[in-house]
Structure 1
């Protein structure tokens, strides 16, 4: 499946916030996580069925815990599903994800205002 076909299938087969033109992203990071999931599926890291199961589980858990029922937290569920799926496949760990998040936070703190945040800006990695 080509990239446009995979993205269209993913956008069609999931309850992504959308308008008449397709998926709607309120923030750039939402489009990035969408694209990342498409890429990982195309590369065979996980199947569409595995993704649907992981995302569905995250949405059900969030709703059960009183999460947003209006879909405003939809892409947060994508991030959670992606993290848990990659951990389940042994491609990362909770510690690995937490460490990378901490590194990005330090990089953001060390980056001058108006400059792009780069992981290389983490003062603990230099």
Structure 2
């Protein structure tokens, strides 16, 4: 019996980014052409070398579209990202990361 083929995603967050992109496109937030242009810019920025076409680039492209559309600006994404990282640090191993675990969260 051979080992199963690896899935298309190396980590759950990659599947979540993929699902967000598909869902937001299907809801009409952006077109596939806009997505392709934005992802292309994330992979091959005009001011730097080409980056690997991985889900980190997908996330960067999605953040760019959200900022351009006024859904979530760069500052809001940065604040939420830092809160998530603090929550991750405060979450016991093996438990789901929730923003409520952020020690700086007011409450």
TM range (shorter): 0.7 to 0.9
Mapping for residues 27-42 of structure 1, pairs under 5 Å: 27-42=11-26
| Alpha-carbon shift at residue 96 of structure 1 (Å) | 0.3
1:76 to 56, 69, 75: 56
| Alpha-carbon shift at residue 52 of structure 1 (Å) | 1.0
TM-score by length of 2: 0.82
Q: Distance in 2 between matches of 1:109 and 1:85?
A: 29
Aligned to 2:83: 103
Q: Distance in 2 between matches of 1:119 and 1:112?
A: 13
Q: Which ranges of structure 1 fall in alignment gaps of 5 or more residues? A: 1-20
The ranges of structure 1 where at least 4 consecutive aligned residues each deviate by more than 3 angstroms after the TM superposition are none
| Alpha-carbon shift at residue 114 of structure 1 (Å) | 2.3
SS in 2 for 1:79: helix
Q: Is the CA contact 2:44–2:50 (under 8 Å) kept in the aligned structure 1?
A: no
| Alpha-carbon shift at residue 45 of structure 1 (Å) | 1.2
Of Structure 1 and Structure 2, which has the larger fraction of its residues in helix? 1
Q: Which ranges of structure 2 fall in alignment gaps of 5 or more residues? A: none
| Alpha-carbon shift at residue 26 of structure 1 (Å) | 2.0
Q: Distance in 1 between matches of 2:21 and 2:75?
A: 21
SS in 2 for 1:61: coil
Count of aligned residue pairs for this structure pair: 101
Q: Distance in 2 between matches of 1:90 and 1:104?
A: 21
